[in-house]
Amino acid sequence: MKKTIKKSMTFVTMLLLTLILFACQSGNDVEIVAHTEQNLVHEYIMIKATEFEGAKYDWFIKEEGTDEWVLEKEAWTNKLYYSAHHQAKYDVKTEMFIKGNYQSSNVITIEFIENYGETFGMSPLGNRPSRNVDFTHDVLGDEKYIIHGSANKTQDEFAFFKAIYGTRYVISAQIDILGINGSDPFPKSGLVAAQFSDRLVYFAFDARPTFDYNDVIVVNRSGDDGGKWEWPGTLTTGIDIDFRRIEGQRTKHRLTVIRDLTTFYFLVDDQLVLTKQFPDLTFDTVAGTYTMAQSAIFSNYYAYMDDPDSSNDVYDQMLIEARGY
């Protein structure tokens, strides 16, 4: 009889302790905080809620200007990693369920921004440019430019024309090489037509660390083996190029690429230097700037898609001039 009473008392004690613990937990407010209130589009913000063991969290998102809360995720974790696909502000909250009861959290606001320029930034496919590219001066006006920044290591840097995605377009920019990043003996600055997971066609000045080589290169990179460059590519020499023509002063030179389906026209300082066929490159590509181990300023740039309803737009005029008919 005494053993039965002792067991009953033990059970009651454990039950009371459980109820007290749950009461303490359910009495606490569920607070959520974000590790940052602002981030770039397509990059994640982590939101963290007060943690309760065994709790389930339903995460809700409401975009600014809308009235509806949307269930973003059901999770057994107190963390939500969220990214947005366009510039906007969002309200976030969670409802925490534990032992049949729930609490609603406070509401926080997070913001995603496109910290890019007027012409350059994220590609139409969502490819993000390199962090070391400065878009501050890519604004409306005649003096706009972007800078592929300096670095103390060898690295590739790229940015994308925001409006280019197709098989018929023209891209162009003047390039002012500032310096060398790292110790690569063959640094380059140029333009690309690309599907970054698949294919990349690179048209670049191969000015070397001395800045006075007159080599211009077209090289293909396939999607095989995670991206394989087909060096040495097609090299064009004998062009009047010198980025340090006057000692102590920098000189700019222009690169232009005209894509006509599978035919590419490559121009230096508005003069055609190479026409090249890529028979298997039948799909749409994005386009942009690309540097290998160099810092450079890209300026006086333009980019035009072909207007299928016009036979005399800027693209058509440049294509006719490049191919001579």
Check: CB of residue 319 under 8 Å from CB of residue 260. Answer: yes
Choose among 202, 201, 205, 230: nearest CA to 215: 205
Please state, in angstroms and rounded to a whole number, the distance separating the CA atoms of residues 83 and 116.
17
Under the banding of pLDDT at 50, 70 and 90, the label for residue 122 is confident
User: pLDDT tens digits for 202-259?
Assistant: 999 999 998 888 899 999 998 765 578 899 999 999 898 989 887 778 999 999 999 9
Residue 164, both tokens: 């280019």
pLDDT mean across residues, the chain: 88
Identify the pLDDT of residue 18: 46
Identify the pLDDT of residue 61: 96
Under the banding of pLDDT at 50, 70 and 90, the label for residue 316 is very high
Please state, in angstroms and rounded to a whole number, the distance separating the CA atoms of residues 255 and 1.
97
Task: Please give the model's pTM, rounded to 2 decimal places.
Answer: 0.72
Can you tell me whether residue 257 is helix, strand or coil?
strand
Under the banding of pLDDT at 50, 70 and 90, the label for residue 84 is confident
DSSP 285: B
Can you tell me whether residue 37 is helix, strand or coil?
coil
Can you tell me whether residue 225 is helix, strand or coil?
helix
Element (H, E) at 27: helix 2-27
Please state, in angstroms and rounded to a whole number, the distance separating the CA atoms of residues 297 and 176.
5
Residue 95 has pLDDT above 90, yes or no: yes
Domain 120-323, CATH:
2.60.120.560
Please state, in angstroms and rounded to a whole number, the distance separating the CA atoms of residues 176 and 191.
13
Q: Quick one: what percent of the chain has pLDDT higher than 70?
A: 90
In the block, tokens 């036979």 appear at 311
Where exactly are the structural domains of the chain?
2-113, 120-323
User: pLDDT tens digits for 137-176?
Assistant: 998 877 899 999 998 888 999 999 999 999 999 999 999 9
Please state, in angstroms and rounded to a whole number, the distance separating the CA atoms of residues 133 and 290.
10
Q: How many residues does the chain have?
A: 325
- Pairing mode, strands 286-292 and 156-161: antiparallel
- Pairing mode, strands 199-206 and 188-195: antiparallel
Choose among 186, 191, 187, 196: nearest CA to 221: 196
Contacts of residue 53, defined as CB under 8 A and 6 or more positions apart, other chains included, come to none
**More confident call, 53 vs 257:** 257
We find that the CATH architecture of domain 2-113 is: Sandwich (2.60)
Residue 34, both tokens: 């974000």
Residue 87 has pLDDT above 70, yes or no: yes
Ramachandran angles phi, psi of 283, nearest 5°: -90, 165
